[in-house]
Amino acid sequence: MLLQKNEKLIMIGDSITDCERKRPLGEGLFGGIGKGYVSLVDALIQSTYPELGLRIINMGISGNTVRDLKNRWEEDVENLKPDWLSIMIGINDVWRQYDQPTIRESHVYPEEYEATLRELIQRTKPQVKGIVLMTPFYIEPNREDAMRKRMDEYGTIVKRIAEETGCLLVDTQAAFESVLRDIYPATLAWDRVHPSAVGHMVLAKAFLAAVGYEYQ
Amino acid sequence: MLLQKNEKLIMIGDSITDCERKRPLGEGLFGGIGKGYVSLVDALIQSTYPELGLRIINMGISGNTVRDLKNRWEEDVENLKPDWLSIMIGINDVWRQYDQPTIRESHVYPEEYEATLRELIQRTKPQVKGIVLMTPFYIEPNREDAMRKRMDEYGTIVKRIAEETGCLLVDTQAAFESVLRDIYPATLAWDRVHPSAVGHMVLAKAFLAAVGYEYQ
Amino acid sequence: MLLQKNEKLIMIGDSITDCERKRPLGEGLFGGIGKGYVSLVDALIQSTYPELGLRIINMGISGNTVRDLKNRWEEDVENLKPDWLSIMIGINDVWRQYDQPTIRESHVYPEEYEATLRELIQRTKPQVKGIVLMTPFYIEPNREDAMRKRMDEYGTIVKRIAEETGCLLVDTQAAFESVLRDIYPATLAWDRVHPSAVGHMVLAKAFLAAVGYEYQ
Amino acid sequence: MLLQKNEKLIMIGDSITDCERKRPLGEGLFGGIGKGYVSLVDALIQSTYPELGLRIINMGISGNTVRDLKNRWEEDVENLKPDWLSIMIGINDVWRQYDQPTIRESHVYPEEYEATLRELIQRTKPQVKGIVLMTPFYIEPNREDAMRKRMDEYGTIVKRIAEETGCLLVDTQAAFESVLRDIYPATLAWDRVHPSAVGHMVLAKAFLAAVGYEYQ
Amino acid sequence: MLLQKNEKLIMIGDSITDCERKRPLGEGLFGGIGKGYVSLVDALIQSTYPELGLRIINMGISGNTVRDLKNRWEEDVENLKPDWLSIMIGINDVWRQYDQPTIRESHVYPEEYEATLRELIQRTKPQVKGIVLMTPFYIEPNREDAMRKRMDEYGTIVKRIAEETGCLLVDTQAAFESVLRDIYPATLAWDRVHPSAVGHMVLAKAFLAAVGYEYQ
Amino acid sequence: MLLQKNEKLIMIGDSITDCERKRPLGEGLFGGIGKGYVSLVDALIQSTYPELGLRIINMGISGNTVRDLKNRWEEDVENLKPDWLSIMIGINDVWRQYDQPTIRESHVYPEEYEATLRELIQRTKPQVKGIVLMTPFYIEPNREDAMRKRMDEYGTIVKRIAEETGCLLVDTQAAFESVLRDIYPATLAWDRVHPSAVGHMVLAKAFLAAVGYEYQ
Amino acid sequence: MLLQKNEKLIMIGDSITDCERKRPLGEGLFGGIGKGYVSLVDALIQSTYPELGLRIINMGISGNTVRDLKNRWEEDVENLKPDWLSIMIGINDVWRQYDQPTIRESHVYPEEYEATLRELIQRTKPQVKGIVLMTPFYIEPNREDAMRKRMDEYGTIVKRIAEETGCLLVDTQAAFESVLRDIYPATLAWDRVHPSAVGHMVLAKAFLAAVGYEYQ
Amino acid sequence: MLLQKNEKLIMIGDSITDCERKRPLGEGLFGGIGKGYVSLVDALIQSTYPELGLRIINMGISGNTVRDLKNRWEEDVENLKPDWLSIMIGINDVWRQYDQPTIRESHVYPEEYEATLRELIQRTKPQVKGIVLMTPFYIEPNREDAMRKRMDEYGTIVKRIAEETGCLLVDTQAAFESVLRDIYPATLAWDRVHPSAVGHMVLAKAFLAAVGYEYQ
């Protein structure tokens, strides 16, 4: 696995990441790391590699867009001096365009999304051992659905940036794709966004595959 | 994996199993399956084998001993007609002897424990495809500790019964052993009994190994 | 309008109808009638025809399927001796097949749905001045979506029964169709089932059109 | 209808307007717009003209008098740059004179009421496409009742200002008048001020008539 | 004063009487007697005649009509063997006709009201030293108001029964009349029914005048 | 009565005065004036002299000593410009010496008590029509009890100041004395300090006698 | 000490004994034994004689009189088969006569008190190794106080019964006497009945002295 | 006993000391001193030496390490001008190394612990009559347990400092040792840190022995 002894991994994002984590830092006893994919990543890693003493901190905040990440980047990422960083952002950037279309100041359109995300990565990449970029997703199998199509655009942006900047990429939409062949979206996420425990496991495994985790 | 398409697995036990599951049946949306190892087993299985449509029901109840299991066996196991059954019981049977030693009617001593567990298994084995017996455990690495020693006795009983009756066996104490080499008990369980998410993952993986689950 | 002076209308259904109505009868001051389309129907009628003194009672119960309606039909419909009756049922009958596919005893398949609904209507039709049958709906514009397709089957059943038994019909799915041309489902209902106030107004207007209401 | 594609309407007032709206802005999912006439106006408009994409924001605050509106006018009206504005204020200005007559600093007498309201309108009229002035009301049919008489004075002031400044006028007292012929005040409002859903629908329809809404 | 040493007075009625009294008996420390006119009657009597050791029990229940009194008469009046009894009932009997006019089964019309009240008094009069009949009231000075007119009809019934059966009479409507000359109803009762502390004092004094209380 | 049309009376003190009054000013609907003797004074006065339109404001704060009154005198008394003022303070000044004898900084000894109270009165007397000084009290009939003896010392100080400065005096201890002949302290106040409704009526009547109130 | 290895002591009484103990049995982890003198007795004994493995169960219930003890004697004492029993009852039997003098059915007068207590002891004495009778008390140093005098009567009854039946006696009133020389009652108990932690320690030591406990 | 008439003792520490004490000062009625060993020390002392009028203040704060004590030393110790001071700190300093090993900034290692504690004592020793130093403890009888071993190191530091600076020493670990011979840790503290009432009594007695308390 890429992560080495005593290293620190920060996972930042929105409500999918947050999942009731502790403030200000999402770590520590009694579920400080939250109840979502970050907790699963931690549990799978610590139970497989207990000797590594890895420190994983959940810095997700519900409702965040990339614009919010930028505002708290110094305090919530840079000051914590991580060795590794994972970012999954963009769902709210898109969703607000579809669930409150008239409230335009809450939308983050593709240009702003791409520019902001690229800026954050370029700024931080030199300070860390690696960054894992996770695409945003929408648990909707119909690729012609308007919001799914839009989400795929944002996913494409993430892939482009990952390639340009040499980040590890996790294609979360693709990860869900395979499960959606057998399971209807309503079972995985009541609103097609917030996953059940099964959906969080799909995310966790996709992340772990990217960092070379070996299950045992 | 041993579990086949559309089969039903019931997992019964005490608070380690329960973990805030829904009543009367521990399944369904919004965390009905609870937040412990049962949920992890479900999430790992469903994300790997979505095509199987397995149904996993959590029937744990906090504070239960094998004496309590017997009282609710008909309603909570037999009437639900499972294809597979897993049982992890015994922690409270032992713990009460150590945390409230003067309240003797709350203790379940080895003879009663063994007789009751064997009876339940003999009664149900013929109706199901398989039973997974999980030993009780104590997250205490010192084998000379009084309560650990006692718990090991109960574990030995479980192993004996598994062998006699042809059940699958999960040695949970052994599973924790390897992690305890690197992690102090207080990190895994504040009271040496109720595991953190990492501890629940240890249990889930031990169970999954017994039923032939292949991670991917 | 079809409803005449001093007549009583009972509107029965599931959570779409219920909307926090009072128990045991959904009527009276301080929102006894609930906060959904039933309240809107009442408010539009009473403000337009205050001289009629109509009595509208909301008898919806969240989570109900047609199987549940049957169980409470005597107490919640017949004993109240309505002049008019409206029924909107079937969403949960279908939804459970898609959001908890493995819990099969919670599903109500088409044969049971059709037989039960027809029985209730045949039993009650002779005692009332009229019955309004409202189709179940799914706020999903993609007709190829598995659950939408299924919901349309149930809608077809409702239409067939309405025709056979001489009930008034409200095609709620069609009513939503026109709005969905301009508004994405996430704006109308976070889970594609429970409507926003706008969605409830769509239902209320569809109902009112069927009973000859004239806005002024 | 007067309101055009993508325009923004702000509706400001007191508790009749507020009705548990979200802060700081009363709009968005999950009832952000409140539960009163503003929500009904929005629901009727959006269901009839979904293609317009209108944005309606509820800025009512319970207990407000025109003095309070003045204090928050810049932040809650001007900075939001509405295309259209509706104002219904004055009930508390009068009510306090009758329910806490000795607490004189809480009263807003006619001169202050008129001067303040006129000032706000003159200040904002040039920046918007139109202003709808709604009279305050008292759900008391007896015109000789002391508080009703007083409220009518304030209504007259509103009519005078509307005429002078070219605002659209909604005579809410007149709207209630017709309903009160058939319904006793206690059914419409337990305290003759806070309307039931029916009372709110009376307000919504009166507003909609003023802006040329056509029901369908 | 009519009440003598160690005698027991029961005061029964609706929410005006109840005022958060203790169950099952409204007496004892920490406000067991409630916070309304019954408490004021008790406080004025006990502070003036501490040597009498009178026992006053509040048996009011919110929402009660005379129909409800009849149902609990044996348990809540007769079994307690009072020396004196006061009754104030009828407000809900009338109010329901005006605040939920369509829910007719909740109305108690004059015939039933008169017959029931007379029956209860004839049944209990022989067992007690005296009964105080208090008229229902409506804090509305306009005698032409529909509900006020109706309430006066019920008051007339109470007066007729008091005269026929030799009960003491308290004309609560007349008691409020004099205060309403100077105070607007909204100051005395937000809904013209539930009095403020001042309104409760009006009731207490009217009661005390009837039983010959002398303030000092 | 001494109080004249439209005058304002402020009643300040400790928890005996406070009794859950509203903040910042203890007046207005829904019990703003609290539930103690101030409310009774208001209710007796308003029901007897409704034409006076008196304004009574409760400014008591639980736990206050005369030291606390001094700290908030400008804001809570002077700025409100009362016509009349009543003060009942001293219970906590004494009580703390007996219920937490070792916490000496919470005690207010006689010298400080007398000097502070005199200063406040001399400062405010010229601005008001009259001041009513109420002695502190202890509902303990045994004059040899240590705390009762101490409280009497403070009462003597109050009497001395009243005489010196020409204030009206209310001897609350004397008022309780007569009731205590027939009623044991535990019935009047569970802790011999906080009165029941009967005890508050004793205080209210003593105050009213001082200002020339005539009951009717 | 009188209590021997593995013996069981039940301590029964009223709120002074209860102190938030667990139901149905007052023992076990997390404060099951309550927070009063019973907990102190247990803590002093277990810390001094850990080798005895004594079991102490708190069976106090707030508000109980000796009449209540009789009603639950079989279930709460006899069925539990104690080796030792302590009883402290009578405070409420007396207190109700003084804090709710008119509610006579709540009083337990001396004859009933003595007869009932004697009956319970005669019934149980033969089945146990010993009974400790604790007098009721009143934290009031003035022996002429009416309630203190009455409490002393009940204490005398307890002493008489203890002597007659050969029970161990704890004179709690005498125990408090010595402390009251230096500490005013309000410091020991806000209502002269419910002791502070210091007061509970006085009770615990008095009990322990009676059973031969030796502090170390 | 060392403590003399009217002296003030401050007891500072972590959650073992805190136990729900009042803020800002842990003293006064209604459990202001908390529910742990400090309350027991106070209750034993006050009941034995009521004439001394000692003042004991609990200044523990849950979760504190010696680093936290240093931050609040001026406000919480020096400004209060105690005559005596007791300190029990170090459990969290050690525990965090074992229950959240990766969160290294929360650990206080031996050098910092020793330096800080010595500094605080040298700074305050000259201002007080005496300081009682209590070792931190771990309720784990196995001296080879990693965390127990570490805690013993910190205990050794405390002993060294006590000797150097002339403080009184309380060896809490030794105090628990004798009880642990007969009682399993789980009975004394569910997490081996937070003691039951029995455990707190062990601490209280150890403290009292150090200050020359004589039980009676």
Helix or strand (DSSP H, E) at D86: strand D84-88
User: Looking at residues G44-63, what average pLDDT do you find?
Assistant: 98
Mean pLDDT for chain F overall: 97
E21 and E32 in contact (C-beta within 8 Å)?
yes
Spatial distance between the Cα atoms of F207 and B141, rounded to a whole number of angstroms = 75
Given C14, C15, C76, C182, the catalytic residue? C15
Contact call for E and H: 3+ CB–CB distances under 8 Å: no
The model's pLDDT over C19-72, given as tens digits with 9 standing for 90+, comes to 999 999 999 988 999 999 999 999 999 999 999 999 999 999 999 999 999 999
Answer whether D103 sits within 8 Å of F53, measured CB to CB: no
Binning pLDDT at 50, 70 and 90, where does residue B216 land?
confident
Region E77-95: mean pLDDT is: 98
User: What's the pLDDT tens digit per position in E102-151?
Assistant: 999 999 999 999 999 999 999 999 999 999 999 999 999 999 999 999 99
- Total beta-carbon pairs less than 8 A apart between chain E and chain F: 71
For the cut 90, the answer to whether the pLDDT of residue C73 exceeds it is: yes
Mean pLDDT, chain G, integer: 97
Q: Residue A172 burial by CB count (10 A; 0-12/13-18/19+): exposed, middle or buried?
A: buried
pLDDT tens, residue by residue, H42-80: 999 999 999 999 999 999 999 999 999 999 999 999 999
Instruction: Identify which of D180, D178, D185, D186 has the alpha carbon closest to the alpha carbon of residue D209.
Output: D178
Q: Please, what are the domains in chain D?
A: 8-210 (3.40.50.1110)
Q: Residue A216's pLDDT is what?
A: 87
Residues H92/H115, Cβ–Cβ less than 8 Å: no
Cβ-based neighbour number of residue H125 at 10 Å: 14
Do chains D and G touch, with touching meaning 3 or more CB–CB pairs less than 8 Å apart?
no
Place of tokens 């920490």: E30
Confidence band of F216 (pLDDT split at 50, 70, 90): confident
- Band of residue B58 on the pLDDT scale cut at 50, 70, 90: very high
* Mean pLDDT along residues D11-20: 98
| Strands H130-134, H84-88: pairing kind | parallel
Residue with tokens 């906590």: F92
Contact with chain H for residue G50, Cβ under 8 A = yes
Q: What mean pLDDT do residues C152-161 have?
A: 98
pLDDT of residue A36: 98
Interchain contact, C53 vs E99, CB within 8 Å? no
Do the chains contact at C50 and D183, CB–CB below 8 Å?
A: yes
Asked if omega into B24 is within 30° of 0 (cis), the reply is: yes
**Residue F111, CB half-sphere, CA atoms under 13 Å: how many?**
0
Active site residue G107: no
* Residue D216 pLDDT class (50, 70, 90 cuts): confident
Rounded average pLDDT over A135-160: 98
Query: Is F58 in contact with F13 (CB distance < 8 Å)?
Result: no
Q: Which other chains touch chain F, taking contact as 3+ CB pairs less than 8 Å apart? A: D, E, G, H
Query: Which residues in chain E have Cβ-Cβ distances shorter than 8 Å to F196?
Result: 29
Mean pLDDT to the nearest integer, D69-92: 98
CA of E22, closest CA in chain F: separation in Å? 15
For residue F43, the SS3 value is helix
- B100 in reach of chain G (CB within 8 A): yes
Which tokens go with A42?
């931690």
Return d(Cα B2, Cα B208) in angstroms, integer: 10
Question: For the segment F12-26, what is each residue's pLDDT rounded down to a tens digit?
Answer: 999 999 999 999 999
Res E216 pLDDT > 90: no
Q: Which residues of H touch F101 (CB under 8 A)?
A: 53
So what's the pLDDT on residue G151? 98
pLDDT by residue (tens digit) across E31-73? 999 999 999 999 999 999 999 999 999 999 999 999 999 999 9
How far apart CA G98 and CA G95 sit, in angstroms, is 5
Check pLDDT > 90 for residue B8: yes
Residue F194 appears among annotated catalytic residues? yes
E29 in contact with G at a CB cutoff of 8 Å?
Answer: yes
The average confidence (pLDDT) of chain D is 97
- Best residue in B104, B190, B194, B196 to probe H by mutation, most H CBs within 10 Å? B190
How many whole angstroms separate alpha carbon E35 and alpha carbon E17? 9
Structure tokens at C107: 């599903």
The confidence score (pLDDT) of residue H105 equals 97
Longest dimension (CA), chain F: 52
* E31 in contact with F, Cβ within 8 Å: yes
Inter-chain contact E29–F196, Cβ cutoff 8 Å?
yes
Give this complex's ipTM: 0.96
Per-residue model confidence (pLDDT) at position E167: 98
Mutant choice from E96, E97, E102 vs C, greatest count of C C-beta within 10 A: E102
**In the predicted model, is pLDDT for residue C216 greater than 90?**
no
**How buried is residue H64: exposed, middle or buried, by Cβ count under 10 Å (0-12/13-18/19+)?**
buried
SS3 labels along chain E: CCCCCCCEEEEEECHHHHCCCCCCCECCCCCCCCCCHHHHHHHHHHHHCHHHCCEEEECCCCCCCHHHHHHHHHHHCHHHCCCEEEEECCHHHHHHHHHCCCCHHHCCCHHHHHHHHHHHHHHHHHHCCEEEEECCCCCCCCCCCHHHHHHHHHHHHHHHHHHHHCCEEECHHHHHHHHHCCCCHHHHCCCCCCCCHHHHHHHHHHHHHHCCCCCC
Q: What is the pLDDT along chain H (216 residues), one digit of tens a residue?
A: 999 999 999 999 999 999 999 999 999 988 999 999 999 999 999 999 999 999 999 999 999 999 999 999 999 999 999 999 999 999 999 999 999 999 999 999 999 999 999 999 999 999 999 999 999 999 999 999 999 999 999 999 999 999 999 999 999 999 999 899 999 999 999 999 999 999 999 999 999 999 999 998
Q: Is the pLDDT of residue B145 over 90?
A: yes
How far apart CA G153 and CA G147 sit, in angstroms, is 10
D105–chain F Cβ distance below 8 A for any pair? no
Instruction: Kindly state the average pLDDT of the residues D71-94.
Output: 98
D55 shares contact with chain A (CB less than 8 Å): yes
Question: What's the DSSP call for residue E199?
Answer: H
With cut-offs at 50, 70 and 90, classify the pLDDT of residue B167: very high
Q: What does the pLDDT read at residue C138?
A: 98
Place G83 in a pLDDT band, splitting at 50, 70 and 90.
Answer: very high
Give the pair of three-digit tokens for residue F147.
């705390």
Cβ neighbours for E124, distance < 8 A, ≥ 6 positions apart: E73, E77, E78, E85, E131
CB atoms < 10 A from the CB of C112, how many? 15
